[in-house]
Amino acid sequence: MARYKTIAILTHFEDLSDPRIDRTKQHLLLDMVTIALVAAICGANTWTDVERFGNAKEEWFTKFLELPNGIPSHDTFGRVFARLDTEEFYACLHNWVRSLNLDLKGRGVALDGKAIRHSFDTASGKSALHIVSAWISDLGIALGQIAVDEKSNEIPAVPQLLMALELTGAVVTVDAMHCQKETAAAILAKDADYVFTVKANQPTLYQAMLDLFAGYGENDFQSPELRTHTTVDRSHGRIERRTYYVAPAPAEWISRGEWPGLKSVAMVYRSRNVNGKISEETAYIISSLPPKPKTLAKHIRGHWGIENKLHWTLDVTFAEDQSRIRKGTGQEIAGVFRRLALTMLMQDTSIKSSLRGKRLLAGWNNEILEGILCGFPGV
């Protein structure tokens, strides 16, 4: 195993169970994991790409891999990764994240699901896979993921993902779909706080929020317990104004104990002017954080980093939405490789380039690739 120390992240995958029987093992599982991860960093988006990359870099790989029978075929990559135990694979990923000893105090951790649209299989009646990710926007680190077959199944999956993560001191943000009492309790159990968007899927709470802020509006939002904060952003002909109205959660709501840890409520009014065309939107928020407008504003706005920095990048740079991996657990495993590769590329400071540029340069230049692999925190 000593050769693998060159890329220390791989030591967390050394005990991963191999689904093959001994007589069928022509390639070492950790060799395959290494090749797939490095290939994902360097621009490979399919198992065929991984095989091509491995063959092109075989001489370089022999410096720290055993490769008893050369580079595996794309069929071998697909077949083996389709049979891996995803819970065990996720555990390896989470153990690596824990080894980074991240200080999450006050940092936003966004949870959100994303469909891989071309992963469906009509012939077998398999729907598109949904992957729920945990993402630290200001660090550019994917903390973990969990996969489900239907979007509605994301709701019970989120508490499962939370159980596997180290979140002490973090502020977990979710969209309205995951505004659930069980999720709030799971977050608090991890010594973290929550910021939830409230919509009509929680009809009682949503109506109570409407009534509460309508009452504040009747007093022209001048109530002594209500605090406000306004931000204005200007970019490319767009002017966006956000006003945050924040108050302590009503005492009777807290006394009922329906929402664990509830401390504050907020209304966000957004006004966008795009080349003279104006649109308006209002959102409602509950949180276990104290009613501090600037703090809540930071986390409410920061939640969208998972869309802009993770989901969008996975589709545009890593072509995740176009992935047609459909066998077994292969798509989930490929999703881990993509998120690991994205994390390592975003953390890299050895070269100045776009993510696409870094992938290309790493594939072309072994020194740059080794700089990315060996310069990563905890690697």
Cβ–Cβ < 8 Å for 86, 332? yes
pLDDT higher at 247 or 137: 247
In the numeric block, the tokens 């060996």 are attached to 374
262 and 333 co-located in one domain? no
SS3 343: helix
Residue 135 in this model has a pLDDT that exceeds 80: yes
Q: Is residue 117 part of a domain?
A: no
pLDDT value of residue 96: 84
Hey, which residues does 266 pair with through a beta bridge?
A: 246, 285
The DSSP element (H or E) to which 277 belongs, if any, is strand 277-287
Q: Is residue 346 part of a domain?
A: yes
Q: Is residue 32 part of a domain?
A: yes
Average pLDDT over residues 125-133: 80
20 and 66 co-located in one domain? yes
28 and 93 co-located in one domain? yes
266 and 201 co-located in one domain? yes
Hey, which residues does 229 pair with through a beta bridge?
A: 244
264 and 219 co-located in one domain? yes
28 and 92 co-located in one domain? yes
Q: Is residue 110 part of a domain?
A: no
Domain boundary (291, 309, 339) is at: 291
Q: Is residue 220 part of a domain?
A: yes
209 and 274 co-located in one domain? yes
pLDDT value of residue 153: 82
21 and 78 co-located in one domain? yes
36 and 84 co-located in one domain? yes
Average pLDDT over residues 56-83: 94
Distance (Å, rounded) from C-alpha 85 to C-alpha 158?
19
pLDDT value of residue 284: 97
Residue 2 in this model has a pLDDT that exceeds 70: no
Average pLDDT over residues 232-240: 84
340 and 285 co-located in one domain? no
> For residue 191, what is the DSSP state?
T
Hey, which residues does 171 pair with through a beta bridge?
A: 108, 193
344 and 261 co-located in one domain? no
pLDDT higher at 248 or 347: 248
Average pLDDT over residues 287-312: 94
Q: What is the secondary structure of 194-241 as a DSSP string?
A: EEEEE-TTSHHHHHHHHHHHHHHHHTTT--TT-EEEEEEEEETTEEEE
How do residues 238-256 score in pLDDT, each as one tens digit? Answer: 899 999 999 999 999 999 9
Domain boundary (291, 316, 340) is at: 291
* Residue 323 tokens, joined: 């992935």
Q: Is residue 144 part of a domain?
A: no
pLDDT category, 3, cuts 50, 70, 90? low
In 3D space, the residue among 199, 165, 209, 202 whose CA is nearest the CA of residue 182 turns out to be 202
Q: Is residue 132 part of a domain?
A: no
pLDDT category, 373, cuts 50, 70, 90? confident
pLDDT value of residue 378: 47
Domain boundary (274, 291, 308) is at: 291
Range of the domain at 226: 196-291
Distance (Å, rounded) from C-alpha 260 to C-alpha 240?
33
Residues in contact with 255: Cβ distance below 8 Å, sequence separation at least 6, in sequence order: none
Count: domains in the chain? 2
Q: Is residue 121 part of a domain?
A: no
